[in-house]
A and B are shown apart, each in its own frame.
Chain A
Amino acid sequence: MSETNDIARLRGVGVKLGRSEVLRGLELGLAPGELCVLLGRNGAGKTTLMRVLAGTLRAESGSVRVCGADPSRSAAARAAIGFVPSLPDLPPWMSLTTAARFARRCYPTWDDRRLWRAADALAVPRRGRISKLSRGQAAGVQLALALAARPRLLLLDEPFAGLDAVARDGLLSAFLTEVDLEDTATLVSTHDLDIAARIADRALLMDGGALREQAVGDAQLEHSAAALRALLTQTTPGPDGAAA
């Protein structure tokens, strides 16, 4: 896979939050059709990496490119990104319908049919305010919104955290059914090794502010949860709360 085709490309990215250096010389390329899982201990910098990719956090050093532009500066680059946060962060008064009305005007690639299909698959209410929905439904709403924008880069930041087993499986199933893997690069950060093992084309391991994916190796295309757990135990825990 040539690097020029990469949807997202991070080179030597460094980020400091306060005094702690959360990301350090981080290198990452995400190619279309890839579903990568981002693993790492608490505070390893997973969320920070997600925010850098989403453009809500500006890297202090190195370069960040999504579809050729820095997402923290380019609205066009942000328009190519779908993001599902671990906690719903839409304005609380928004429902799926009102949020879609907002997003429809902002995302040029917006697809309404895609939205309603995803909403049906995720079984989320169309009109309920996000603040009144359960965690699982709220995550579903944000996933449906992210999918409907037909993103080139889809980022899921611990979307399954805090969901009960049934909600988790429902969300995962709908995600796997609805996501377009062909043109999209997908990055899912999770602590759930079961999920990681199920869905990962590549498992990226965050350790000390950088990525260790070579340990998994491209040759091994499928992972077991046990293998991932073994990898994770080799990493050092990050400073508590640094990635918060």
Chain B
Amino acid sequence: MSLLALTHKELREQAPAFLVAAALVIVGCLVTGWLADDLFVDSATFAHTAAVCLTAIVAIAMGCDIGARERNEGTQEWLRRQPVSLGQVALVKLAVLLGALVAAAVVGSESATVASRLFASGASSLQAEPMVGLILGGTVALALWSMACSSFLPRGFLAAPGGACVFALLALPAALHEIVMGRLRPDPPIGLWLTCALIGGALAALSSMAIGSRREWATWKRAGTVALAGSIGIAPTWFEAGANLAGVTTLDLSSPNLEVRSAFLHTDGRHAFAMLRDEQWPSFPVVIDLETGETVAAGVLGDDLWPAHTTVSTRSNRFPFGVLHKQDGDSEIVGSDGEILAIDRAELSAADLEPFNTIGDGGWTLALPAGGGWRLSRAGSGARAFVAAPGATPVTEEVLAAAGWRVQYVEGWLVDGLWIFRGLVRPSANGQTITEYRSLDAEAGELLAVDWMQARDSIVCALADGKALVGDRARLSIVDVREGGRRDLDTSGRKVRWWAGTATVLQATEGEGSLSCVTAVTADGSIAALVRADGSVARWIEPPPGSAGILCLTALADGSIAVLTYRGGQVLRFGPGGDEPIATALHW
């Protein structure tokens, strides 16, 4: 009962501070929603900013008062006489402040949401939640600390740390601006504003804690003044920081600068995995249905799955579309429906991982260490990690050394069950480094010499029927990895600067038998070639102007070819149905 009485008292006393602050932020949200640009207003950052802003204002307005109130109002004696313990009083004050902060976060975000609903233009954007939890948690912690500093302590005691905490609260946007990322740096007027607010806020906080508030002032007047000063000091800088943050944490899919960084086609010939990005940051993984142009999120904004930490497989049976995502020891496999299957590595069987058992693209490889089991490790960059096919004898450094191979760097490809390694080798004491190729027979576990590869060649991609595209930048050949026959690709007089990207084995199209596609960079940009098994180009597919190249393509059921372009994320159709866009831009 006495807790109820104390709670009622605190609520009654702190209501003006909360109401004034809430009114200020609600009005602020409406004005901001009306004035600010759509990207900010539509994004979740707006709601987060409003929530944090109101939380900060309430924390300052209430935190400065709730603990010191009894002293300021001269009611300490009265309170001590009551049949309640001071512990209960402190507990209730803490609970009320906490409750108010939570309510402030809710009211702030809700009013921003309402404002964005009222003023939204309908532009679509993605949202990310970087650091929001951290900011909110930090805000609450700071507010509680400032309250603890001022409650039940003689005036002046711990005023400096208390003031410093309020100062830190004001300075949080500054920290965002200056420390977290350069792109959040404020415009000069806002920067000046921030500086003034920091100085004024620090002085006000320190003086109020050192001198105490004037007793003659009514509660609502004092709360109102603090909330108003807090709003003026905090709101513009917080909202500006929020708007800047929105610029880098949201991805506008209607942006003309939208790029598809990389894309992989699934063996179903229909879905592609792609990483989207807007100029620099953030990246966003999606699965694109090339037949309809529909996209499904395959992660959250900011997921930089490609290329450093990820192996993409298009060959998995168990996972229709697989992305093996390795980060801090955790793995995720993403299905073609975009669902992320969080999987503990220990649960992955060798068969599960087999589709990811390619070397090259992501730099990640699977290895079978001597102790048994699968190990994901990284080849290249001087790392001595070597691979073996499933079930085969592991190829360790010792195995390579026994075969006379002293490699500094190794990479490899799996073509039709045969591993082909390229190693940078120092064969003798003369110190020269040369490139050598070996193939590994999965059954024999033996390294064999490869004579059909030349020093500057690399394997561009594996094709169907045990064939692979190999070549240097200017010359592309088709080889049979077991027989060793090599035939140059007929480029039909086109000057190809270099062959790039991964190739895709297409299903039978246009009565041509097995076709493979490879992208190439020519004087006209990145184009695609459909390559027959005999090494001739069946068709060149050129992207529309401004799209900056083709990332992947597939044959659709009607025999047409669907193409995903680099810039703008257009999905286009070429073939019997006519060349036409399926989707002019990826949409949500």
Give A residues with C-beta under 8 Å from B: 51, 54-56, 75-76, 78-79, 81, 83, 85, 89-93, 98, 101-107
Q: Which residues of A contact B74 (CB under 8 A)?
A: 89
Q: Which residues of B contact A75 (CB under 8 A)?
A: 2, 83-85
A85 to B75: give the CA distance in the assembly, Å: 11
A75 to B81: give the CA distance in the assembly, Å: 9
Give B residues with C-beta under 8 Å from A: 1-2, 4-5, 8-9, 12-13, 73-75, 77-78, 80-85, 219
What are 9 A-B pairs with beta-carbon distances under 8 A?
A56-B81, A78-B83, A79-B83, A85-B78, A89-B78, A101-B8, A103-B82, A105-B8, A107-B83
Q: Which residues of A contact B9 (CB under 8 A)?
A: 91, 102
A233 to chain B minimum Cβ distance, whole angstroms, is 31
Q: Which residues of B contact A56 (CB under 8 A)?
A: 77, 80-81
Q: A54-B80, A56-B80, A75-B83 are in contact. List 16 more A-B contacts (CB 8 A).
A: A56-B81, A78-B81, A78-B83, A81-B81, A85-B77, A89-B78, A90-B78, A91-B13, A91-B73, A91-B75, A93-B13, A98-B12, A101-B8, A103-B82, A105-B1, A105-B2
B73 to chain A minimum Cβ distance, whole angstroms, is 6
CB atoms of A105 and B83 under 8 A apart = no
Answer whether A76 and B83 are a contact pair too, CB < 8 Å, given A93-B13, A105-B4, A106-B2.
yes
Closest to B82 in A: A106
Residue from A89, A98, A104 having most chain B Cβ neighbours under 10 A: A89
CB atoms of A78 and B77 under 8 A apart = no
A76 to B84: give the CA distance in the assembly, Å: 9
CB atoms of A102 and B8 under 8 A apart = yes
Answer whether A106 and B84 are a contact pair too, CB < 8 Å, given A89-B74, A89-B75, A91-B9.
yes
Secondary structure call for the B interface: helix
Q: Which residues of B contact A83 (CB under 8 A)?
A: 81
Q: Which residues of B contact A81 (CB under 8 A)?
A: 81
CB atoms of B8 and A54 under 8 A apart = no
**8 closest residue pairs by CB, A with B:** A79-B83, A105-B5, A56-B80, A75-B83, A105-B1, A78-B83, A89-B78, A106-B2
Closest to A142 in B: B78
Residue from B74, B83, B85, B219 having most chain A Cβ neighbours under 10 A: B83
Closest to B220 in A: A93
Closest to A78 in B: B83
Closest to A104 in B: B5
Q: Which residues of B contact A76 (CB under 8 A)?
A: 83
Q: Which residues of B contact A91 (CB under 8 A)?
A: 9, 13, 73, 75, 78
Q: Which residues of A contact B81 (CB under 8 A)?
A: 54-56, 78, 81, 83
A203 to chain B minimum Cβ distance, whole angstroms, is 25
CB atoms of B2 and A89 under 8 A apart = no
Q: Which residues of B contact A107 (CB under 8 A)?
A: 83
A89 to B72: give the CA distance in the assembly, Å: 12
